[in-house]
């Protein structure tokens, strides 16, 4: 069985995911843009994998947008996105909080009709390995 490890930015919260992910969606909806402060959400989904908090479970809080299925969990100290189990029977894991390699490619991009205009040509924008010189 696959074991995935992850943590928040400040390191207070860490966790293990035991099992396999079913799907991996990049979501361009407006809720995900607000939620992440960036262009899109990137979440792995599983109906069978088990989430085990390894440290800091008391520092994890959740928010569900009323009247929607949009829910997020995050560290109370640093605000980093963390795995969420608010939707019953479904484990949602933000791809960026994992410390272990993700072995699957995204299943699909969804809500692409809401895609932020500045991301459309992102591959053609100048790239630096680190900070610009
Ligand atoms: Zn944190
Ligand atoms: Zn979304």
Query: For residue 100, is it within any domain?
Result: yes
Per-residue pLDDT of the chain (133 residues; tens, 9 = 90+): 679 999 999 999 999 999 999 999 999 999 999 999 999 999 999 999 999 999 999 999 999 999 999 999 999 999 999 999 988 889 999 999 999 999 899 999 999 999 999 998 999 999 999 999 8
Say how many Å lie between the CA of residue 79 and the centre of ligand 2.
18
Q: Residue 74 is part of which domain span?
A: 3-117
CATH of the domain at 108: 2.170.150.70
Q: Which residue has the tokens 């995911």?
A: 17
User: Rg of the chain over CA atoms, in angstroms?
Assistant: 15
Residue 12 contacts residue 77 (beta carbons within 8 Å):
yes
Ligand nearest to C-alpha 12: 1
Smallest-distance ligand from the CA of 56: 1
The Å distance, Cα 35 to ligand 1 centre, comes to: 16
For residues 75 and 12, the answer to whether their CB atoms sit within 8 Å is yes
Predicted TM-score (pTM) of this structure: 0.94
CA 78 to ligand 1 center in whole angstroms:
4
Q: What is the domain count for the chain?
A: 1
Sheet (strand 50-55) strand order: 3-7, 14-18, 50-55
Residue 130 in any domain: the answer is no
């Amino acid at each position: 069985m696959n074991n995935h490890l992850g943590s928040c930015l400040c390191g207070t919260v860490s966790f293990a995911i035991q099992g396999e992910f079913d799907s991996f969606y990049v979501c361009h909806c407006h809720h995900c843009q607000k939620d992440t402060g960036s262009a899109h959400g990137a979440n792995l989904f599983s109906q069978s994998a088990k989430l085990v908090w390894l440290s800091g479970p008391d520092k994890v809080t959740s928010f569900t947008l009323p009247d929607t299925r949009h829910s997020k969990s995050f560290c109370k100290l640093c605000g980093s996105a963390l795995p969420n189990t608010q939707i019953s029977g479904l484990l949602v894991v933000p791809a960026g909080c994992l410390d272990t390699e993700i072995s699957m490619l995204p299943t699909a991009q969804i809500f692409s009709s809401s895609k932020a205009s500045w991301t459309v040509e992102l591959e053609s924008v100048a790239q630096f390995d680190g900070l610009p010189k």
